[in-house]
Every structure is written in C-alpha cells, then in structure tokens.
Amino acid sequence: MRYFKKRRNSTNSDPGENDPLSGVANLFDIGIVFIVGLIFTLFTAYHLQDLFSEKSEITIMKKSKNEEMEIITKKGKKIKAVKVTQEKAVGRGERLGIAYRLEDGSMVYVPE
C-alpha cells in the first residue's frame, strides 16, 4: 500500500515543465504559420488572387508529363476544362485571323 500514498512535493513546480514533448506543439504551430505564409506568397507572386474573385475571367493552359494539354477557363463562378486532342476538325467555319510562329517558338495571333 505504500505505492498508493499521496506523495507530497516540497517544491511547487508545474509537472509540465519537465515534459520533453511540450515544445512539439509550438513547432507544429510555427510550421502551420510558415505553410500559410508560403501559400500566400505563391498566390501573390503568380497573381492568382483572381481565382477567388466572382467577377474575374481566367484561362489557364496546362500540359502534363505525357504531352497532353488541357485548357481551363473560369468565367465568374463557372469553371470549364477542355482537353486538347490531335484530331482534325471537319466542318464549315469562318476565318478569324492569322497565327504566326516566331523564331523563338512563341505564337502570335493577329485578328483581321
């Protein structure tokens, strides 16, 4: 029964003072603040604030590792994704302009 006796501590110290895991919570908080700051910095560096605006119109062209391309368009709240294929289109249409490929590989569209 000697193990069940209440032990009286002569010093009035907090039992959590000697806990080695008490600093882990602080490291976790610092990590969360760092991640949020990094996300905020990336959004401002690439001007992606318009993704959250209801009035903005954004078009993003995405290319995957296996050379598949996808065009993502956001108009207001509506988001539309279209995959670009190598299939040839057949049908009637009207000429809208001329596209030129420059020496550096970039393309320029000139409306008529």
Task: Residue 57: give the domain boundaries.
Answer: 53-88
Which strand (E) or helix (H) includes residue 24? helix 22-45
Model confidence pLDDT, tens digit, residues 12-24: 555 556 777 777 7
- At 68 the three-state DSSP class reads coil
Report if residue 59 sits inside a domain: yes
80, 58: one domain: yes
27 and 47 fall within a common domain: yes
The per-residue pLDDT for 51 is 80
pLDDT confidence bin for 96, thresholds 50/70/90: confident
Domain-located, residue 105: no
pTM confidence score: 0.47
Could you give the number of structural domains in the chain?
2
- Assign 9 a pLDDT band (cuts: 50, 70, 90): low
Regarding whether 47 and 62 lie in a shared domain, the answer is no
C-beta separation of 71 from 84 below 8 A: yes
Residue 81: inside a domain, yes or no? yes
Q: Are 79 and 69 in contact (CB under 8 A)?
A: no
Residues 57 and 36 in one domain: no
CB 102 within 8 A of CB 89: no
